[in-house]
Structure 1
Amino acid sequence: MRHLKPMAAAIALCMAAGPAIGQARPEPELGYQLVEGQNINAFVRDGAVAAHLLLRSGNDPRILVAFPAGNSGVGLWFDTLAAPAQWALESAPQPIDVRDAHGRRLNGVRAVASLTAPRLALKQAVLSNVRFLRDYQAIGRFPPEVAVKAQIDGNRIVYARDRVDGAPGYRLELRVVEGRVNAGGIEAGAPSTRSRA
């Protein structure tokens, strides 16, 4: 089995839409990790950013980022794998800030992770309040008005939307630095010639 160290997906996770990933700040005020069973939990707090990154290993991998102060988050679920896969957090979450398409400031985190799987098929992204992320995990449903489609550009996968009331919303971006992105997901492979953000 090929490993997704050859698919080290640079996972850029931040709130709301915006054309680019922002610059990471110096070391955060608080940052730590905790592994519980198949979950890698990474916490970071610095200034306006307080986030919880969860990487779920196993046959049903997923990525979740919750921003508890705003009761908001982003999540990406992948299709069930034939064999369990293991996440590794290569670079701990770092606070970032970006501007969305309307020039509004967005706060978020950026991290780098890899997964030991030859291929990942995108199943569902949910960008909303934490309750809807929990609902999707528990019962597989969420309100249709918060649904968003993936935008694929080279080795980038982006999910973004404003809040339902039009306020700055959510953004989840993955940059695959080893492997490639196709219409259905991510395949392990040689390192990308693109630079890492």
Structure 2
Amino acid sequence: MELVDYLTIGAIIIGPIASVQIQKYLERRKETRNEKVRIFRVLMGTRGSSLSKSHVEALNQIDLVFEDKKYQSVRLAWGEYLDNLNQPFNDNNFSIWVNKNEDLLANLLYEMGLALGFNYDKVTIKRKSYTPVGHSNIELENQSIRKGILELLQSERTLPMQLILSQEELDNQKELRDLMLKYYENELKKEN
């Protein structure tokens, strides 16, 4: 056998194996990209409702999915945003904190978009999302309800109550009270 024969046999054996390995590599690469795009889409779709469960879950997957060195700008933007999210706030600095979060989220989405080949500017990311006022109202009401219930359970607040009785019911209550008082007065006299 000549060298050409050995090369032909080698190609016949190695060709299908290499083809399968290349196909697997391309599938993994496509799957990884699809996961990155999915996270980007979830974050873009929920950027107006950052308290939603899907938004938070997508944020928490950034370090896992954007782990390659070429996504360092995404991880840095996520680190800045996460740092601000974890900053304490109060009534005095709440609006400043929220505005900074919006800016940092827009920067994160901008960096993700660039890394994935999408061309969105930061203004578009920040300003072109729709969040119904009703969703904000529902969230504020739910928060207020939860806070009120906690205050009740922790005895920090009382539950106001008002009895509504008709005049006839009030008269019956008064008559019953008078009869009870009279009965107990008589019982006390008997004991003495």
> Which one has more relative contact order, counting CA pairs under 8 Å at least 6 apart?
1
Q: Which one has a larger percent helix, Structure 1 or Structure 2?
A: 2
Larger radius of gyration: 2
TM-score, scaled to structure 2: 0.21
Q: Which one has a larger percent strand, Structure 1 or Structure 2?
A: 1
TM-score, scaled to structure 1: 0.21
